[in-house]
Structure 1
Amino acid sequence: MNIAALDLNLLLVLHTVLVERSAAAAARRLHVTPSAVSNSLAKLRAQLGDPLVVRSGRGLVPTPRALELAPHLRAAVRELERVVAGSERFDPATTTRSFALALSDAHQICDLPRVARAFAAAMPRAQLRIVSIDHFEAVGGLAGGEVDAAVAPATAPQAGQHAHHLYEEAGVLLVRQGHPAAGKPVTREVWASLRHVDIHLALGRGGIGHRAARAWLAGERLAFDVAVVAPSFLAAAVVAANSDYACGLPRRVAEALAPVLPLTPLALPGPPMAFSIDLVWHERTHLDAGARAFRELVIAALASPRPASKRGRRARA
């Protein structure tokens, strides 16, 4: 027969009747009336061409066809129960799931090592997949269904998204060691003489951090003379280390690169750019136990207490 024409709920009724050997007991277990059970059995008999169960005294006795179906129905129901309840029985120690985390190359440099260590300890059989910002944007971001979470500069709450604060970050302006501007305060005149390496992470465009940096520059009334546009923080740092161009990096990235690139920070003419970093995820994974365990792992690996002066900022979780 065509299974598309079969009401699969009828098979659940038959399975329950075969377990209970009573229409009344099956009705109580299914939270329906005995007549509803009888009607379901009548429909299934017509579709399968077999009586399935016959009355014997006060109980029901299965036919050979029903006995043939019984173990398969039992296995199918158990598998469905396992699938439906599986997210509540998530075991980090045994799971083989793959979890995708979107990170810019800056976060790959300064945050990924801690996340990878925590992941290996908590989920030794699972797979951690790191996704670039380019790929993240190309597949539709968090709503695209491929990425479980992203580490990104904080923004206003987005519809269908959740976020948890991880840490506060600050920007630093770097030039090569021996640069004419190194070792002295950067006045506005010196700033105006600098040419910069700009960074476009997201499909050749500036992302959240880029827009925040431009807003900070506008607020400080600082010009931004772009000489080179690079696709990553690391590329921008390498260019600056081998030229007279300046580049802005998150402080954590600058500290991580300090042992390998001959760069030195400049004293800015105003307060440094400060911004918050969040872990962001979509509503579709918010209640999933596995995704929740993964998020908690990332948060535990990266989160630092918010400074007292910042505690009034939005809290989203």
Structure 2
Amino acid sequence: MDKIDLNLLTALDALLSERSVTAAARRLGLSASAMSRTLARLRAVTGDPLLVRAGRGLVPTPRAISLRERVHAVTREARDVLSPQSDSLNLAELERTFTIRANEGFISLFAAPLLMTVTDVAPRVRLRFIQKPTKEAGPLRDGTIDLEIGVLGDFAPEVRTRLLFRDRFVGVVRNGHPLLSTTTVSPEHYAAARHVVASRMGHVRGPVDDALKALGLQRTVVAVVPGFPDALRIARQSDLVAQVTQSCLSAPRFADGLISFPLPVKTPEIGITALWHPRMEADLAHRWLRDTVIATCRSS
């Protein structure tokens, strides 16, 4: 490509359209002499006279006639490629599948209202929700997923983020659990109970354990499960105490038969975040998806 001057395409398009060096020069904001030199270069590059004198005007050669539509199409396409993206998006005609990676709790709570909002304005859009076994950024980078929902943590440095909402941990037990015999659950009573914790990576300890340790206490964890719904199912059918996020209990099928209570120790708030790769930052449809997810989560 070093020897190809793509600016010649624009000049050739103007010359073939105007069939006049002066008119083509005026169209491109050049002097007539500069356009004449450009025509000479075009003749040298193509090996064809392109435009020849006929009386006081110029007429195209057969080669020029055969090139006219192709040159015009290529020039128009090049302008489209090198112009800013349109800021309009026809949602009614948008046909696209967006893949969102999120945990089961988020899907149970937000998938239905999100789908109602999306399909109402963009009936041809499909949302595909998938589980998140890891926080690997590869799927965001290669476009396998469009949006990641979760706790920010240690993620790829280039990833863009927006806070969806803030959450907190609560304790959960079955209705009638002995721990509920007192008005307030004390740290001592909480630590003395037996616990089930949810950890995708299988971790036993967490912020609650650090807070209990500061008080000289230690809880007994007898089960570790992959997700909050698993912990809630176990708590519903046993005397084990589960620790889940408050938002998880907003889904009725998870909260049925369970009672939640504030943890007796202080733990950090959790920021639930939307993450996407910067290559999708300017994509109008993706921007609309992000804004819709954020609005749905905050309104819910």
TM, length-normalised to structure 1: 0.74
Counterpart residue identity of residue 285, structure 2: G
1:192–1:223 Cα contact (<8 Å) kept: yes
Corresponding residue of 1:96: 95
Tell whether 2:165 aligns with 1:170.
Answer: no
Q: The residue matched to 1:197 in structure 2 has which SS?
A: strand
Instruction: After TM superposition, give the deviation of residue 177 of structure 1 in Å.
Output: 3.3
CA distance in 1, matches of 2:33, 2:127: 52
Output the CA distance in 1 between the equivalents of 2:222 and 2:107: 25
Count the aligned residue pairs.
Answer: 295
Higher relative contact order (CA 8 A, sep 6+): 1
Code of the residue aligned with 1:89 in structure 2: it is S
Percentage of identical aligned residues:
32
* Residue in structure 1 matching 2:228, options 230, 233, 236: 233
Distance 1:146 1:27, change over 3 A: farther
2:126 — aligned with what? 127
- 1: CA distance between counterparts of 2:208 and 2:59? 79
Structure 2: how far apart are the matches of 1:134 and 1:30? 57
Per-residue deviation at 1:37? 5.2
Separation in structure 2 between the aligned mates of residue 126 and residue 167 of structure 1, nearest angstrom: 25
Q: Structure 2: how far apart are the matches of 1:40 and 1:97? A: 45
Match of 2:15 in 1: 17
Change (3 A) 1:79 1:230: farther
Q: Which runs of 5+ in 1 are unaligned?
A: 306-317
Residue 210 of structure 2 aligns with an amino acid whose one-letter code is A
Q: What displacement does 1:120 show? A: 0.9
Seen in structure 2, the aligned counterparts of structure 1 residues 259 and 229 have a Cα distance that, compared at 3 Å, is closer
1:260, distance to aligned residue in structure 2 (A) = 6.6
Aligned to 1:301: 296
User: How many Å separate the matches in 1 of 2:111 and 2:31?
Assistant: 57
- Structure-2-length-normalised TM-score: 0.77
Which sections of structure 2, spanning at least 5 residues, go unmatched?
none
Give the RMSD, CA atoms, in angstroms: 3.7
Determine whether 1:265 maps to 2:260: yes
Partner of residue 63, structure 1 = 61
**2:191 corresponds to which residue?**
192
Q: Which segment is superposed worse, 273-282 or 120-129?
A: 273-282
Q: Which moved more, 1:216-225 or 1:115-124?
A: 216-225
Structure 1 equivalent of residue 112 of structure 2? 113
| 1:12 to partner: Cα distance | 3.7
Contact 1:154 1:275 in 2 (8 A): no
Aligned-residue offset at 1:293: 1.9
Deviation at 1:269, TM superposition (A): 1.6
Following the alignment from structure 1 to structure 2, what is the Cα–Cα distance between the partners of residues 41 and 85? 30
Per the alignment, do residues 60 and 266 of structure 1 end up closer, same or farther by CA in structure 2, a change over 3 Å counting?
Answer: same
Q: Which residue of 192, 206, 210 corresponds with 1:214?
A: 206
Q: How far did residue 141 of structure 1 move? A: 5.3
Q: Residue in 2 aligned with 1:281?
A: 276
Letter matched to residue 188 of structure 2: E
50-59 or 188-197, which deviates more: 50-59
The AA in structure 2 aligned to 1:160 is E
User: Which segment drifts farther, 160-169 or 247-256?
Assistant: 160-169
Distance 1:53 1:216 in 2: 82
Aligned residue among 245, 256, 273 for 2:251: 256
Structure 1 stretch displaced more, 47-56 or 62-71: 47-56
* Amino acid of the structure 1 residue aligned with 2:171: L
1:192 partner amino acid:
A
Letter aligned with residue 247 of structure 1: A
- Letter of the structure 2 residue corresponding to residue 283 of structure 1: P
Measured after TM superposition, the shift of residue 167 of structure 1 is: 2.3
Equivalent residue letter for 1:280: L
Is contact 1:20–1:26 with CA below 8 Å preserved after alignment? yes
Equivalence for 1:308: none
SS in 2 for 1:119: helix
More moved, 55-64 vs 3-12: 3-12
Instruction: Verify the 8 A CA contact 1:171 1:248 in the aligned structure 2.
Output: yes
